[in-house]
Amino acid sequence: MAGIRTVNGKLSGINPAVSCCRLRQVQSLLHEGGSSTPDGILCSLGIDSRYNEGCTELAKYLFYGLYGRTQLNLEHVLEEFPEEMLDDVILLIKAECVHLYCNPMNYCYLLPYVSHWRNLHLYCMTEAEYEDEEAAEEFKISSFVTMVQDCYHIGVPYSSQGHVQRFDMFMVEKWPLIQAFALEGIGGGSFFTVKYKLMDMSEKLLKVYSRLDPVSLGDVFTEDVVNFEKQWSAFFSSMDLESHLSILELSEAQAGETFRTYYSHGLISSNITDESKSQQPFVLFGRHSSREDLKGYSFNFPSESHQVRNTGCQGSTANHMILQCVAPKGPLACSRTYFFGTSHTPYLGNRNTAQNKTQVLLLSQIYSAAVQAVLSGIKCYSCTTCAAKAKDIAENTFLMALDSAGLSQYRSALRSKCEFNIQAVNKQGRIIPLTDEERRYVIKTASMTVHDIPDLQWDRGVLGSVVFSESFLESSINIQQKDGALSSDSCYTILTATVPRYACWLMESDIKQSEQAQHLAKKEEGTCLGTALTVADAAYVSSSSQLSTPEEGKIIFFSEGLLFIHSQYGSITLSKDHIRTIRFYHPDFGAVASLFVEYESNVFPHFPFPLHSSDQCLVFALQPRSISHKAFYSKVLSVWQNSESELNLQLVDEEHLTCNQKNMHVRLQRLHDSQEPPVAKRRGNLKTSCSQLPEQDMFLQHFALSSIGQEPIIYDHLGVLFPSAELRNSTSGLGEKVVVTIITGLPGSHKMSLFNSLVKLNKERGRLLLYKPDPDTFSASHLQQYLSSFLQSQRGPGGKTRLLVLTPGYTDVLDVVQSVLSHPDPVVRAGFTTGAVTACVDPLASCMEHRFTFPKLLEQCSQGIVSTVVFTGLTAEQKHPLMQHVQQMVRSANPTAAFILAEKGAVTRTEHVNLILSDSGFVEPQMLRARYILYPGWCEGRFASGSGSLVLSQRRVAFNRPLERPLFITRCQALKSSLRPSPFRGNIYNLWGKVRFSDSDQLMEVSYNTVSGSLNIVPDSSNVARLKPVPKETNASYFLVYDGVDLTEDGLKDWLRLCAKQRQMKKPKKTKNTLSPQEIKLIHITRHLDPLPAGYFYNGYQYVDIFGEKRSLHPNMEEFIQEYITKANKEIELFNRQWELQGEPDLFDP
């Protein structure tokens, strides 16, 4: 059992869409067919399975955050009940349904996960029942026996990812739960492995677990990415400790210690035993980064001899390093190229603007081209999912970037030396083929390595290699256009984007140049920047370059420019000679103030390379309430706005910013919101993902849809599914469409009474027509045929008509909705709109036994489909345990539904009527989003609702004779006491029909719910316009429809005969053996004084013979009996002849 995430004592982070999607992924293994496909997958937790790791892993997957391998944050749960109570779970997953055993203690923790599962069969006792320990244990065993009774092949998740074991069914036989199966009486009565064939499902389930969904992706962001960033933070912290002198003695082993320790220690604890290929960390300096060095590198044997001071060209100081960090038991990896020394010279008033072509600048330009290549390759792959196309795009981008940087002479030399690839990596960090079906839902790494870069300028041999890679995840959804054509929409997120793409450390010459620039602040006049107006204080600098991240430093404002001091870039000066325009954007005093400086191209030699951007714009961010922020308003703003100032300062609103400038400001604002006020140490920790990725929210919305499946999304719904787009009024454009209102509910839920209440209260809404199937079964084709004819009949003049569909019996309401929305005729489909769906629930008629509900109860309250739930029973007893239990279930299954209390469906309040007859309840944005993520394919009618393990069949019995009212009522009331426990065979739960009683000539409509005991007998009324499907051809005048389990027609007829006037039957003839003692006594009394045979006398009490023997009966008693039988049989024969001549018909005779 694992740590439980709690917020204020409650479980948090439960996503119904993910719970359902994960269940469907497991169930998909049961649809494959063939001998290797089991009938179900069994999962038992705790001591019942001897703490099997495979079962625990499946539970951890389905009940994410509840089960696992650690013992963190369990105090809240363990205070309530012992740990073994939480593990008291048995799960049997079948292709279309799920059986779940749990106890009343862990029920509340499991309910949020399973309440959205379709066709759930729940075995759970009430708190009172569970107090009997012996009864509770017997209930668990009998529940397990019932679960598996329809199976032959059963799959078991025997092994876990970190501990693969050889499957041994005899070890499974040792599980306490399996051994209990053999118990006589309450168990199955035989060995489990003899009766059922077991198979190991571990390998197939491991592939299911590796598939990313919003929850596992959230874990990647909150756990994997955070841990990954910590390693980079530790690397930067160790590097920042080096001075410009000590860094020369730094070796590759020392620089890579953080990455190496992280990777090797992680491998020890990962328990990964396969031999599949994986990436490894490395750190290499200067020339010691050639192709051969990379190929022969082993992270276990880093070099101590290769140092910064001796790995440059011809044994000189190295200009760069290449490094890669790899998560040991996760999918993340990224590589970077960082530099020793800067590529710029601070502007100090000199007019020489020529760029000094140093090796650092050259390598930076080539590295920048590689970065652009990788990012373009990622973008291409996310759109095409074709690695070959992405490779072509990346290589072409690399060569074009070289041309734009003025390095055309390197095209031919580097064309064959650049290597781009994309690798898919599973959750264990193992590389898997891109051709696998699972590739869409795993993280990938895109990388480019430019090997053995030659020194064409100074001809000093090979400079080494540069590398760049990112871990990314793409998302793609299919969109159905208005003309029916399908298109795709793709996006991606880079998970390692928070790792700085460019970093450098100052060498001795760089420090001297930086110090010269900083002396400008000490001069009172005569500087190229004018007079210093402020002292140095914290600020951020950034640009739109792909290499740039917000960097913290200190800013000093001058009368004719500014100076920015950075710990690694050194000093950056901006003079009025290089500034075109300054735009100051400050939305409010609680927000970041952004200073956008647009500069001339001749300033590039004086800027750090990562700040170079095509829009020639820098942004300096001043944190609210900081010294620099206050000083800018008090000392700088007035000077720069002065007419004599040569600086073009503009105070602008958001609409005057370019798109890049808006994005930069949002990025800086998010950085401010996600962190404490700036601290002195720049690299204390990396920025959080959300602050660095303003597009991440959109990606998560996109991925939430794409991870569910590839069913198309209707184009008109995009604006609702992605809230960043402007939403259209969902109720607009109804025009002349007919509004379809759907009311659903189990038999006995008083949904017909609710309709009658609506008819009485309905005002100013036009006519209200009812579609109520008869008999009580649902047919999608029949409903669609009716919609076609209905639309034809409404084409003429008349008021607005509303169609109300009353769903029958145990119908899944989603099937009804899909049949309306997916009508085969597009004209008819466009003529209707679904207004709202309402579910009627009577708590008294909801549970078959314990906590097991009638089939389709929760499905009839589905989130995204049902907007209102009307409770029609126990409305005056809201504290009743059954009422609270049912409301808890329904609220868990549909958190957004409105609850209405209406005893027996009697709605009285106008606002409740408005909810039920709403024109827009079904198309509300939150409802639409829920349908797409919970029921993929719903809009095209392709979502399969499935059926449960328990099927309540319907039997229609027709007859021609009236019933006796008292007998009928008595027989109905006796049904509840005759209900049998699981498997419920022969139980009658509902009956409905039209009958006539002998005390009246009026046709009556009757209905009875066995569980609630609700009996309704009302005159048949046809004053409400409704459609009745054509009944079966029969001459019968009356009928009853029964709902139950394994009902037989003969049994129902026998039950019904007892409700009618009892017809006299033929009398059987008497024999000596059939005479009762009373009859024999009567014969004796009548003839005891008849004459005696010779030798007998009667003493007044007994008969005595000549030998003195006494007897109580007359000596001729045998003759008297025979005479009595002969006389009685003559009377019986006469009665039977008269009975035959009378010919009274049976209840079912025509």
- CA 855 to chain centroid, in Å, comes to 22
Q: What percent of the chain has pLDDT over 90?
A: 54
Beta strands, E only, 559-702 = 561-566, 570-575, 579-585, 593-599, 617-622, 649-651
What does the pLDDT average to over 678-690?
A: 40
Angle at 453 between CA 447 and CA 459, to 5 degrees: 170
Q: For residue range 980-1000, what is the model confidence (pLDDT) as tens digits?
A: 888 888 999 999 889 999 888
What does the pLDDT average to over 684-696?
A: 49
Q: Are 453 and 414 in contact (CB under 8 A)?
A: yes
User: Which of these, 841, 844, 836, lies nearest to 902 by C-alpha position?
Assistant: 841
Q: For residue range 217-271, what is the model confidence (pLDDT) as tens digits?
A: 989 998 999 999 999 999 999 999 988 889 999 999 999 999 999 998 888 766 5
More confident: 76 or 572: 572
CA distance 417 to 452: 7
97 has a pLDDT exceeding 70? yes
| Amino acid, single-letter form, for residue 250 | L
pLDDT of residue 35: 79
More confident: 188 or 598: 598
pLDDT of residue 866: 97
What does the pLDDT average to over 886-913?
A: 94
79 has a pLDDT exceeding 60? no
The H or E element that residue 742 is part of is: strand 738-745
Q: For residue range 162-176, what is the model confidence (pLDDT) as tens digits?
A: 778 888 888 999 999
More confident: 71 or 129: 129
901 has a pLDDT exceeding 70? yes
Q: For residue range 500-555, what is the model confidence (pLDDT) as tens digits?
A: 999 999 998 889 989 988 888 888 777 888 899 999 999 999 999 999 999 999 99
What does the pLDDT average to over 727-747?
A: 73
708 has a pLDDT exceeding 60? yes
pLDDT range class, residue 93, cuts 50, 70, 90: very high
| Amino acid, single-letter form, for residue 370 | A
211 has a pLDDT exceeding 80? yes
3-state SS, 792-821, equals HHCCCCCCCEEEEEECCCCCCHHHHHHHHH
Q: For residue range 602-631, what is the model confidence (pLDDT) as tens digits?
A: 888 888 999 999 999 999 999 998 999 999
pLDDT range class, residue 1022, cuts 50, 70, 90: low
pLDDT range class, residue 351, cuts 50, 70, 90: low
pLDDT of residue 1067: 81
pLDDT of residue 1116: 87
Q: Are 45 and 34 in contact (CB under 8 A)?
A: no
pLDDT of residue 6: 36
**Measured CA distances, 752 to 732, 739, 861, 868, 1011 (Å):** 31, 19, 17, 16, 18
What does the pLDDT average to over 1052-1070?
A: 83
pLDDT of residue 764: 59
pLDDT of residue 420: 96
865 has a pLDDT exceeding 60? yes
| Amino acid, single-letter form, for residue 317 | T
Angle at 434 between CA 430 and CA 435, to 5 degrees: 125
pLDDT range class, residue 643, cuts 50, 70, 90: confident
What does the pLDDT average to over 278-292?
A: 91
pLDDT of residue 1031: 44
CA distance 411 to 422: 23
Q: For residue range 1063-1098, what is the model confidence (pLDDT) as tens digits?
A: 667 788 888 888 888 888 888 888 888 888 888 888
Q: What is the pTM of this model?
A: 0.84
Q: What percent of the chain has pLDDT over 70?
A: 90
- Buried-state track 303-327, b at ≥16 Cβ within 10 A, e below 16: beebbbbbbbbeeebbbbbbbbbbb
pLDDT range class, residue 1036, cuts 50, 70, 90: low
Tell me what the pLDDT averaged over the chain comes to. Answer: 86
11 has a pLDDT exceeding 60? no
pLDDT of residue 269: 63
Residue 1124: CB atoms within 10 A of its CB come to 19
Within 196-288, residue ranges assigned H as helices are 202-209, 214-219, 225-240, 252-255, 257-270
pLDDT of residue 145: 92
| Amino acid, single-letter form, for residue 907 | V
**Measured CA distances, 473 to 328, 402, 438, 490, 709 (Å):** 19, 28, 13, 11, 16
What does the pLDDT average to over 397-417?
A: 92
Q: For residue range 764-790, what is the model confidence (pLDDT) as tens digits?
A: 566 788 898 865 678 899 999 999 998
Q: In what order do the strands lie in the sheet with 988-995?
A: 953-959, 1038-1044, 988-995, 1004-1009, 1014-1019
pLDDT range class, residue 763, cuts 50, 70, 90: low
More confident: 736 or 422: 422
pLDDT of residue 1033: 39
